[in-house]
Amino acid sequence: MTNMRKTRFWVQAAIIAAVYAVLTVAFAPISYGPIQVRISEALTILPFFTPAAVPGLFVGCLTSNLLSPYGALDIVCGSLASLLAAGGSYALRGAPALVPLPPVAANALIIGAMLRFAYGVEPSFWICALWVGAGEVAACYVLGYPLMLYMRRHKDIFRLD
């Protein structure tokens, strides 16, 4: 990778991280908790366009989770769920309709488990996973997927060369 490509990669990652964090904090009342719709999760479609979105989404989630009412465990688990999800979305970029699926699955399972088993949120794990998954579907498919379809017309902004 040339120096220019590396620079563009890290600039894209930094911008994605900043936008993710700002959106999460700006919509804080609905960004944290057992029932949440993180508007910033609409950005989880960005790995479709650029591999820089993988570290960008991870750092953005990590940064915004520093303000989470759930503390250190959410910082670690939430950020790792985002990293796993972003990697999965990047791997599925050849199947556009599936790109939003990894964030839905990873967050439903990982954050659902964290809420139930670490924080004792009632009722069952499956209900917690369903709550988180429903919020992810709203953010990733209802907001993110149309955003991805729209942005396909402007995908050149993500070129690294």
φ, ψ at 129 (rounded to 5°): -65, -40
Rg (CA), the chain: 15
Question: For the chain, what is the domain count?
Answer: 1
The verdict on residue 148 lying in a domain is yes
**Cβ 134 vs Cβ 34: under 8 Å:** no
Spans in the chain with pLDDT lower than 50? none
How confident is the model at residue 61, as a pLDDT? Answer: 97
- Look at residue 54 in the predicted model and tell me its pLDDT: 98
Structure tokens at 81: 């769920």
∠56-134-154 over CA atoms, to 5°?
A: 40
pLDDT of the residue at 10: 97
Q: Measured on CA atoms in the order 24, 71, 77, 108, is the torsion positive or negative?
A: negative
Domain range for 71:
3-27+38-158
Residue 53 lies in a domain: yes
Contact 137, 108 (CB under 8 A): no
Question: Tokens 């930094």 map to which residue?
Answer: 14
Closest to 58 measured CA to CA, from 11, 14, 110: 14
Residue 28 pLDDT: 93
Q: Is residue 32 part of a domain?
A: no
**pLDDT at res. 137:** 98
Q: Report how far residue 67's alpha carbon sits from residue 69's, in angstroms, rounded to the nearest whole number.
A: 6
Q: What CA–CA distance (Å, rounded) separates 56 from 46?
A: 9
Report if residue 86 sits inside a domain. Answer: yes
pLDDT of residue 158: 87
* Entry pTM: 0.94
Residue 33, domain member (yes or no): no
pLDDT 10s digits, 113-138: 999 999 888 889 999 999 999 999 99
